[in-house]
Structure formats: C-alpha cells, structure tokens
Amino acid sequence: MTDLPRIPLAGVIGHPIAHSKSPALHGFWLKRLGIKGHYIPLDIAPGDLREALHMLPRLGFVGVNVTIPYKEEVLKLADVVTDRAALIGAANTLIFRKNGKIYADNSDGSGFIANLRQHVPTWNPAAGPAAVLGAGGASRAVIAALIEVGVPEIRVGNRTRLRADALRSDFGAKVQVHEWVQAGNMIEGCAMLVNTTSLGMVGKPDLRVPLDALRRGMLVTDLVYAPLKTQLLIEAEAAGCTVVDGLGMLLHQAAPGFERWFGQRPEVDDATRNALLSL
Ligand code: ATR
C-alpha cells in the first residue's frame, strides 16, 4: 500500500494563545488557496517548550509561528538562526526541516516594511530621520528593518532608558537615544514616526507623547491595531500626515511562514484585511 501524503500542519505557539488572530488569518488563506492543511493555536505551558518543539515535527507539523512569551527563548532551541533573527534577538517563525533541524527566522521587520510599501508606494526611506517610540521586541525588529532599507537616522525614546541604550549598542550610531519625557521633541524634523509601544491599545494607557511637531507629509504608523485607528493616527491625520495602521504588518509578517510551510505565497489584500476585521 502506498503512503498517502501527510496533510501539513502549522500553528502558533504561545501562552496564552486564545487572543491570537493568526489561526483565522492562515485559515482564510488555506481555504482561499484550496490547500489541504491546518493551522492551529497551541497553548504551550511554561517549561514544556523544549519538549513541544521536539514532538511537533513528529506529529506532522511543518513549522509554527511564535508569540509571547517564547519569541526569545526559541532562539536557544533552534538549530539554525537567521542573521536578522539573531540581531533582533527574537524569532516569530520556525520551520521544521525534514532532517529534523529547526530553522528560526523573524519576519516582523520585513512585514513592517511591506505594509508601508503597500500603503505608501512613494515612501522614500532616505527622506529623513525616523522617530521610534518604544524599545521592546517589536521596536528592535522595526529598527533593524529601517536601517536595512536606508533610513539615515533613528531617534528612539523609551520609558526605560536602558532598553533604548541597548538598541544603540546593538544597532550602532544611526540610533540616537532620547529621554522618554522628550519624545515629543524628538519628532521635530523627522520624516516618519512609529509607535511600537503598547500605549493606545484597547485596555492599555493612552499614548501621552505631545504631537505638535507632526507636520504635513510625515509618515506616521502605529503597530497597535486594536483599535485600528488609534488616537495617534487620528491626530496625525488631522495634522496632514500620511497614516498607516498596524493591521497590515500582522498580515505581511504572516505571509513568509505560510509560503514556506504550505508552498504558496498568499496575497495580502482587502479581502484578507476584511476577513480579520470581521472577527
Ligand atoms: P513588544 O514585543 O510588543 O515590543 P515589549 O518588549 O514588552 O513588547 O515592549 C513593550 C514596549 O511598550 C516597551 O517599549 C515598553 O516600555 P518599557 O521598555 O519601558 O517597558 C512600552 N510600554 C509599555 N507600557 C508602557 C507605559 N505605560 N508607558 C510607557 N511605555 C510603555
């Protein structure tokens, strides 16, 4: 009897995992492309990560996305870590190779850039400095990507100064650290502003950074996508800035993993956005 091909399985590992939009997103693409496969939320208890990564390939998994709190820890358990994941210090995409090796990558930065390019095709990264609010994991991915595409100077402000200082020592002199209380001032003269903090998200405190330095023509984007139109984006739009919401980054960071696991590049379009917005 010949073996039937195994139905590929992928998923997202984290703890907790119930809030993740990834299963709905990958499920939408699988259905749309008529691929026989499944994408499953996997709640892995702390302490079980190593064993879970050992077992998942044996159960038919071809890879997983990684979310909080395991994005850093998986780097230690992977056999191959891409340069960008190592630089960021976190992975969001794992591929389980046929030889048993685990390959770890980070597509947050490329997803961030792809979202900007999709919504603002005329965007010129070299146009001027970028102001980045926050110095957490998401900020590291954004800053690595901004440097890669040629942004000449990146001004970072973070509540915890030490984390911003670490960014400068990891990414070099293009990164300039500003005091959190001065974050409003650092926006002056910038071509773009990015919020990578959780401020402004549903259930979190408001972003209180003064925004009077925003000018017509600046590009402003928020990684927060719940709400979709954050107070930052509302104020930026009123000031004549070009604004891009954060939902597209979520969609674009998911596409490379999907392609590696299931063999087809999914399209990130309005139908995909709407499928997530209607959840
Ligand atoms: P992520 O992986 O999403 O970046 P993170 O690493 O926990 O998550 O980073 C969250 C970011 O939001 C950090 O820049 C954090 O500032 P600290 O480094 O000082 O913690 C920022 N942040 C969260 N709550 C904040 C608050 N109430 N005020 C200012 N910054 C806040």
Q: What is the pLDDT of residue 82?
A: 98
Sequence-distant (6+) residues with CB within 8 A of 79 are: 101, 102, 103
CATH 3.40.50.720 residue ranges of the chain are 109-248
pLDDT at 2: 57
pLDDT-based confidence at residue 163 (cuts at 50, 70, 90): very high
pLDDT at 160: 98
What number does CATH give the domain 109-248?
3.40.50.720
User: What is the band of 1 on the pLDDT scale with cuts at 50, 70, 90?
Assistant: low
Distance (angstroms) between ligand 1 centre and the Cα of 197 equals 5
Q: What is the DSSP string of the chain?
A: -PPPPPPPEEEEEESS-TT-SHHHHHHHHHHHHT---EEEEEEPPTT-HHHHHHHHHHTTEEEEEE-TTSTTHHHHH-SEE-HHHHHHT--SEEEE-TTS-EEEE--HHHHHHHHHHHH-TT--GGGS-EEEE--SHHHHHHHHHHHHTT-S-EEEEESSHHHHHHHHHHH-TTEEEEEGGGHHHHTTT-SEEEE-SSTTSTTS-------TT--TT-EEEES--SSSS-HHHHHHHHTT-EEE-SHHHHHHHHHHHHHHHHSSPPP-SHHHHHHHHT-
- Give residue-wise pLDDT tens across range 231-266: 999 999 999 999 999 999 999 999 999 999 999 999
Residues of the chain within CATH 3.40.50.10860 domain(s) are 9-106
Query: Domain 9-106 carries which CATH code?
Result: 3.40.50.10860
Pocket lining for ligand 1, CB < 6 angstroms: 134-139, 158-160, 163, 196-199, 205
Dmax (CA) for the chain in angstroms is 72
pLDDT digits (tens, 9 = 90+) for 65-94: 999 999 999 999 999 999 999 999 999 999
Mutate which of 73, 108, 159 for ligand 1? The one with the most ligand atoms within 8 Å of its CB, which is: 159
Nearest CA to ligand 1 atom 29: 159
Q: Residue 143 above 70 pLDDT? A: yes
Q: Is 52 exposed, middle or buried (0-12, 13-18, 19+ CB in 10 A)?
A: middle
Residue 53: is its pLDDT beyond 70?
yes
What pLDDT score was predicted for residue 5? 78
**Confidence band, pLDDT 50/70/90 cuts, at residue 13:** very high
What's the start-to-end Cα distance of the chain, in Å?
Answer: 43
CA 134 to ligand 1: nearest atom: 14
Sheet containing 61-66: order of strands: 38-43, 9-14, 61-66, 93-96, 102-105, 80-81
Residue nearest ligand 1's atom 12 by CA: 197
User: Which of 112, 198, 204 is the pocket-test mutation for ligand 1 (most atoms within 8 Å of CB)?
Assistant: 198
How would residue 4 be classed by pLDDT, with cut points 50, 70 and 90?
confident
Q: How confident is the model at residue 6 (pLDDT cuts 50, 70, 90)?
A: confident
Report if pTM > 0.85.
yes
